[in-house]
Amino acid sequence: MNARITQATLLDGSNPHHGKQVDIRIEKGIITEIASTLEAKKNEDLINFENLSVSPGWFDSSVSIGEPGYEERETIKNGLLVAAKSGFTGIALNPNCYPVPDTSSSIAFLQNKAANNAVQLYPIGALTQKSEGVDLAELYDMQQAGAIAFGDYQHAIKNPNLLKIALQYTQGFNGLVLSFPQEDDLIIKGMANEGETAIKLGLKGMPALAEHLQIARDLYILEYTGGKLHIPTISTAQSVALIKDAKAKGLDVTCSVAITNLFFTDAALEDFDTRYKVTPPLRNEADREALVAGIKDGTIDMVTSDHNPLDIEQKKLEFDHAKFGTIAQEATLGALLTLVSEKKAVQLLTAGRKRFTQTTSKIEVGQPANLSLFTTKGSNTFTKEMILSKSKNAAFLGAKLKGKVYGIIANKQFIAS
């Protein structure tokens, strides 16, 4: 593609043009010029939006799609289009399709299915065979086929020896291990955060202690073994404190938080709306405030949509019977901008790429154009018309958001929102 982006505020802390309004020329998908103004050339598209900002392409570290096995929830083709129109140029795909991707051939299938899209799909391989938590899967073979990390999506690693072996084994090829922060024996049949709201509504509780015990155990194991650990979607103040202490010790650990846990509290459950039934559960206001503080001080490395499309048969049920999960990619930028500055938002939306793929996206002459286009100005209310996913289980319906995504440029393609 050949294009000229005009009057864009460049948001990239490592770039000398950071914070300045520039024009960017792209030829055959490569950035060829960056200047305060550029003259038009023949046969190039003009990209110009009101109050336009440009940053390195965003990366979403926790995305579920469905295909193969659950195409009624979401297909890979549409899932990648949703990501593009939500501003993401790369996604880490959770291993919760069917069959579970626990072999090199299943990883290769996912990559081949997603080939030639603007958004790059990076598969996460299952840590254990069929994500059953018993035997390790083919980790090295999957890494050679393109898996960027290993974890069982929203399944805790019950056996501590299994985590120990995984952290030791993956050091041989610089692998990243994911451990979901939940001690299952403490949340049997739990539906919501253990606390005042759950008691009031008569819902079985999911204590914060279940998250704290799992994280504390995992960090002790990491300190013993070494290796690289990522703890996805933490949700409590004590979890932030535990990870902060671990980082101070020099442990190679990162963590993420889901945008829903940053934005909502368990008070949203008062009407038994299953759109707010997520895991980890929405916590209280003190926990939410601690999570916001954690993203601001750098303890929490990245924000994820934790986008999980579920069809109506799985969500429009009695609260006890509905599945956990919400779609959130379409609202991630708008929700995040209500909590942090535009500079911090970009940092939180781009940090996952380096951790998961060991690469970075730079806005420099000679580099492939991998850009997210958006505005931080204005506000809006999230409506049904803004849902791009095949599934409609959106917790953010009716939420007041800021800014707007204009699209992405990646893999020699411009996808407009």
Report the catalytic residues.
306
Which residue is associated with the tokens 């190039």? Answer: 44
Q: How far is CA 312 from the centre of its chain?
A: 23
Q: Where are the alpha helices (DSSP H) in 104-263?
A: 104-113, 139-145, 160-170, 196-201, 208-225, 237-248, 259-263
DSSP type of residue 136:
B
DSSP codes joined into one string, 298-316 = TSS-EEE--B----HHHHS
Contact in structure between 52 and 8 (CB atoms under 8 Å): yes
Q: Taking Cα atoms as reference points, which of 66, 102, 103, 104 lies closest to residue 82?
A: 66
Q: What are phi and psi of 125, to 5 degrees?
A: -85, 150
Q: What are phi and psi of 167, to 5 degrees?
A: -65, -35
Cβ(147)–Cβ(176) under 8 Å? Answer: no
Strands, E assignment, 130-236: 149-150, 176-178, 192-193, 205-206, 228-231
Tell me the residue length of the chain: 417
Number of neighbours of residue 148 by Cβ within 10 angstroms: 22
